[in-house]
């Protein structure tokens, strides 16, 4: 772990002092928040529509490695990955709660930085921090966030709504977060054998940013609304394209064809894949943590999204009996597998 300039023990403040310090400067902005932090429970009021709730837990050593994720980024990422689930319902996030378990190996200044990241995310995504819990842990750091959002009843998008012949569309590009992790892991190994190494990582800034500071695609539901497109099903890509596409198929009781040549991968990531001798298709399918949105739209809406730089049609839904497969560049059909990102990690070990 990076040496902190200052280290003030958590016990100096006590539980209540710590909560007060961490949660100051979180102004309430949403009209649905009646009462935020400070009572036994927050009070919310949603006057119409549907309320969506999603929660995620990040565990040190499982989901993140403190030797390379700066605490501000960790706070930001923890919020962003939760909000990504809210956007995947086509909802607008409104509030979050934050649960944190820490050991005394962390100083107050370190927690301040995590909350700096959380505060930054609250500002960018316009959500209120309305509560949480603070407790101690004997070993690692655990950060669990719950996000709440709202959506019109007729606008909510579930995984189960896809129809046969719908187009499968993805936002942004894939594989970046996984390659960012590969770069960071490599540098960590180099650093361990030579602590004086000063790596120049500037050429890897895109993948590293995708890994350490992922963005929830707030802009995509807004863009689709503007284009007059209502997806029939949607999911966010946390585990990899393959696994998420299979979730849509299962929930909608359909099959899918994904065309390898259509999968969007940034040129910087393609180059990095060559350097690491790994297939860009494999990492796009199984890499995970890209937090892009994957959704289906009726074929009739193709013209509305055609040529949009943020959206790529990568395939189409078909009847269940036709199965779920990737159509390779040579036309061969390969069954899609939900390897997910943990499996990929183990493969490489
Ligand atoms: P209780 O004992 O009733 O659980 P706490 O003392 O744990 O209350 O919390 C006091 C207030 O501070 C509550 O509003 C709670 O939601 C909020 N809170 C506690 N920990 C956190 C945290 N880590 N982040 C944000 N809010 C928190
Ligand atoms: Mg409590």
Report how far residue 313's alpha carbon sits from residue 281's, in angstroms, rounded to the nearest whole number. Answer: 16
Residue 345 vs residue 192, higher pLDDT: 192
Domain that holds residue 32: 10-155
Ligand 1 touching residue 40 (CB < 6 A)? yes
Residue 349 has pLDDT above 80, yes or no: no
- Answer for the pair 302, 308: CB distance below 8 angstroms, yes or no: no
Following CA atoms 201, 204, 207, 209 in sequence, which dihedral angle do they give, to the nearest 10 degrees?
50
Element (H, E) at 314: strand 311-318
Report how far residue 246's alpha carbon sits from residue 252's, in angstroms, rounded to the nearest whole number. Answer: 10
**CATH code, domain carrying 98:** 3.30.1330.10
**CATH code, domain carrying 273:** 3.90.650.10
At 69-115, the pLDDT tens digits run: 999 999 999 999 999 999 999 999 999 999 999 998 899 999 999 99
Per-residue confidence band for 343, with pLDDT thresholds at 50, 70 and 90: very low
Which listed ligand is nearest to 132 at the C-alpha?
A: 1
Element (H, E) at 121: helix 108-125
Asked whether residue 72 falls in the same domain as residue 173, the answer is no
Q: Comparing C-alpha atoms, which of 30, 46, 57 is closest to residue 122?
A: 30
Report how far residue 308's alpha carbon sits from residue 222's, in angstroms, rounded to the nearest whole number. Answer: 14
Ligand 1 touching residue 176 (CB < 6 A)? no
Predicted confidence at residue 189, as pLDDT, reads 84
Query: Which residue has its alpha carbon closest to ligand 1 atom 10?
Result: 38
Asked whether residue 169 falls in the same domain as residue 35, the answer is no
Across the range 274-285, mean pLDDT stands at 96
Question: What would the two tokens of residue 96 be?
Answer: 């979050």
Predicted confidence at residue 188, as pLDDT, reads 84
Looking up tokens 């730089």, which residue turns up? 309
Question: What would the two tokens of residue 160 be?
Answer: 């189960």
Question: What would the two tokens of residue 301 be?
Answer: 């809406």
At 224-277, the pLDDT tens digits run: 999 999 999 999 999 999 999 999 999 999 999 999 999 999 999 999 999 999
Given 132, 155, 178, which residue is the final one in a domain?
155
Share of the chain above pLDDT 90, in %: 83
Residue 53 lies in a domain: yes
Given 155, 173, 201, which residue is the final one in a domain?
155
Domains contained in the chain, number: 2
Per-residue confidence band for 342, with pLDDT thresholds at 50, 70 and 90: low
At 184-193, the pLDDT tens digits run: 999 888 877 7
């Amino acid at each position: 772990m990076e040496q902190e300039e200052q280290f003030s023990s958590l016990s100096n403040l006590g539980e209540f002092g710590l909560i007060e310090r961490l949660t100051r400067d979180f102004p309430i902005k949403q009209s649905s928040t009646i009462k935020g932090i400070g009572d036994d429970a927050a009070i919310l009021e949603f006057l119409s529509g549907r309320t969506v709730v999603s929660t995620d837990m990040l565990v040190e050593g499982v989901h993140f490695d403190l030797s390379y994720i700066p605490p501000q980024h960790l706070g930001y990422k923890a919020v962003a990955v939760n909000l990504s689930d809210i956007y995947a319902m086509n909802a607008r996030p409104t509030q979050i709660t934050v649960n944190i378990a820490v050991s005394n190996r962390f100083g107050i200044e370190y927690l301040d930085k995590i909350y700096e990241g959380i505060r930054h995310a609250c500002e960018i995504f316009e959500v209120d921090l309305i509560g949480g819990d603070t407790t101690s842990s004997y070993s690692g750091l655990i950060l669990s966030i719950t996000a709440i959002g709202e959506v019109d009843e007729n606008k909510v998008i579930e995984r189960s709504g896809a129809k046969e012949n719908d187009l499968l569309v993805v936002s942004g590009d894939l594989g970046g977060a996984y390659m960012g992790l590969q770069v960071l892991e490599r540098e960590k190994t180099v650093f361990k054998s030579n602590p004086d190494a000063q790596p120049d990582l500037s050429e890897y800034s895109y993948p590293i940013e995708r890994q350490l500071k992922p963005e929830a695609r707030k802009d995509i539901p807004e863009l689709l609304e503007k284009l007059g497109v209502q997806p029939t099903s949607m999911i966010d890509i946390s585990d990899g394209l393959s696994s998420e596409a299979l979730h849509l198929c299962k929930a909608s009781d359909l099959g899918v064809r994904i065309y390898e040549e259509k999968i969007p991968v940034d040129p910087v990531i393609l180059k990095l894949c060559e350097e690491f001798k790994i297939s860009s298709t494999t990492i796009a399918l199984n890499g995970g943590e890209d937090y892009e949105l994957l959704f289906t739209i009726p074929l009739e809406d193709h013209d509305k999204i055609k040529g949009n730089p943020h959206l790529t049609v990568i395939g189409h839904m078909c009847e269940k009996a036709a199965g779920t497969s990737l159509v390779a560049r040579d036309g061969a059909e390969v069954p899609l597998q939900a390897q997910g990102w943990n499996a990929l990690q183990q493969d490489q070990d």
